Amino acid sequence: MRHLKGQKEVTVPSVIFSKKATEALINQAQYIFEQTQNIEISDIYLDDMQKFIVLILRSFPESGRPTDEILKGSRKIVYKGYSIIYQIGDRRIEVLTIYRENLSK
């Protein structure tokens, strides 16, 4: 790859999902399956949500609003009624939890 003189190389942070966030995604997919009885629909929803989270957080990590009331240094983005709480670290972004706004965390 060719670099222009004086140009900084951009590093894209990795996005990881905590155990709690992973469990929330699985529970959402199970709920969708129970409602639709269609594994393909629940898989597509889960894949779309994961892709959205990773794309937004890797491209615009500080786009979420600060949520210090939940956890100091955390931020929140929203996807189709779900709140995604995350923290930005030095080398990675960790998705801490995912929940529906009208349900408990």
Residue-wise pLDDT for 23-64, tens only, equals 999 999 999 999 999 999 999 999 999 999 999 999 999 999
User: What are the distances in angstroms from CA 53 to CA 2, 7, 36, 64, 76?
Assistant: 30, 28, 24, 11, 11
**7 belongs to a structural domain:** no
CB 49 within 8 A of CB 27: no
State the pLDDT at residue 102: 72
Report helix, strand or coil for 49. Answer: helix
* Residue ranges making up the domain that contains 45: 14-100
Task: Pull the structure tokens for residue 32.
Answer: 């969708």
**8 belongs to a structural domain:** no
Q: How many domains does the chain have?
A: 1
**19 belongs to a structural domain:** yes
**82 belongs to a structural domain:** yes
CATH code where residue 22 lies: 3.30.2310.20
**105 belongs to a structural domain:** no
